[in-house]
Chains A and B, each alone.
Chain A
Amino acid sequence: MIRPTGRDSLLVIVPAFNEEGAIGDVVRSIHTYVKGVPVLVLDDCSGDGTVGIARQAGAEVLTLPHHLGLGGCVQAGYKLAHELGFRYVIRVDGDGQHDARDIPRVYDMLKTSGCEMVIGSRFAEVNGSSTSFVRSIGIRFFRMVLRPILGKPVHDPTSGFVGVNHRALEVFSRSFPLEYPEIEALVVLQRRRFRFEEVPCKMRPRTTGRSSITAKKSLYYIAHVLLGVFVNVLKYDGRTRNQTGG
């Protein structure tokens, strides 16, 4: 069983759905570059050998009884980490696109900056990471939308490489966006006056499996996330007005 060790206990969570081709290498590379840190694979009811391969590679596995989607799956990990008393949690995708060598940088930034969230950003500096044309347009669009809401620029709002501290963990274990959570999560944190930082990281091209956001789903993604952002802004603005008696 995973247990927090020390004052700055860290847990790495890896959401995975049918990632038997990549999950073994992901877990092994985390163990190689971040020694002594427990790895929890969050299996979103995969139909392939993801669970077995993750366990063989040395990870603990939280298996969901049915498919919840990315947000529900990640939140289950946050809930367990919060209940076990971990101080920091870093999320790495199970498709092998994130480089485990970047985890220590995200962890260090979490500890030294005191920020509630640190994003591993592909675009914080030029590092050779690339993304598809449609996706890059989406990222530019959301950068523009989020700039006035967050009060500062965010280079990579759709990054799944995210570290949070115990304060954000407490919030996310209670309330976390269920579909396409990355952008909405930023707004949820900002409305609570939490801070975030970005750390440059590399992203490798996917070698196995398929992205859940296909070209067809892109429009739905944009509409869904925009609505989620809008609702979160209204929700927390309303709450703030009520608290101040306005």
Chain B
Amino acid sequence: MERLLNVTTVLSILMLIMVLFSVRRAHIRVEYSVSWLLAALVMLILSRARPGLEYITRHAGIPDTPLTLFLIAGSLFVIMFFRFSVIISNLRDDNIALAQRVAILEYHLRSHTQESTTHEV
């Protein structure tokens, strides 16, 4: 159990560092890094607070403390994936609307250019 908690601590710290570096290099935007940072922090705190983890295990009726850790981690990531699916869906809608608008504006531009060329001739 202790080894598992240590591994979780190391992974959480690695994740925190990775996310902070990515934000610094502008690979991900600050607003999208918050979810990852929060998830990493929660995992870090849980891995260093064994009594808290055991309290949750007892009260939730989970048979095993490591299972509690995995359940919490799993739930966090499922919530994050859902959140990112919502963000991706919105971005796709915006992207389609923009592409359609670009096409329509290009069509108008081309038509006006052709008309003015015809008038000049």
A interface vs B, CB < 8 Å?
A: 1, 60, 62-66, 68, 72, 75-76, 79-80, 83, 178
Residues of chain B lying within 8 A (CB to CB) of residue A72: 96, 99-100
Contact among B100, B112, B114 with A68 in the assembled complex (CB-CB below 8 Å):
B100
Residues of chain B lying within 8 A (CB to CB) of residue A75: 96, 100
User: What are some 24 contacts across the A-B interface (CB < 8 A)?
Assistant: A1-B108, A1-B115, A60-B107, A62-B103, A62-B107, A64-B99, A64-B100, A64-B103, A65-B99, A65-B102, A65-B103, A65-B106, A66-B99, A68-B96, A68-B100, A72-B99, A72-B100, A76-B99, A76-B100, A76-B103, A76-B104, A79-B100, A83-B104, A178-B96
Residues of chain A lying within 8 A (CB to CB) of residue B96: 68, 72, 75, 178
Q: Number of contacting residues on B, CB 8 A?
A: 13
B6 to chain A, nearest CB (A): 44
- The DSSP consensus for interface residues of chain B is helix
Most-contacted residue by chain A among B103, B108, B111, B112 (CB, 10 A): B103
Residues of chain A lying within 8 A (CB to CB) of residue B108: 1
- The CA-CA distance from A189 to B106 in the complex, in Å, is 30
Known A-B contacts A1-B111, A1-B115; the reply to A68 vs B104 at CB < 8 A is: no
A5 to chain B, nearest CB (A): 16
Which partner residue on chain A sits nearest B102 by CB separation?
A65
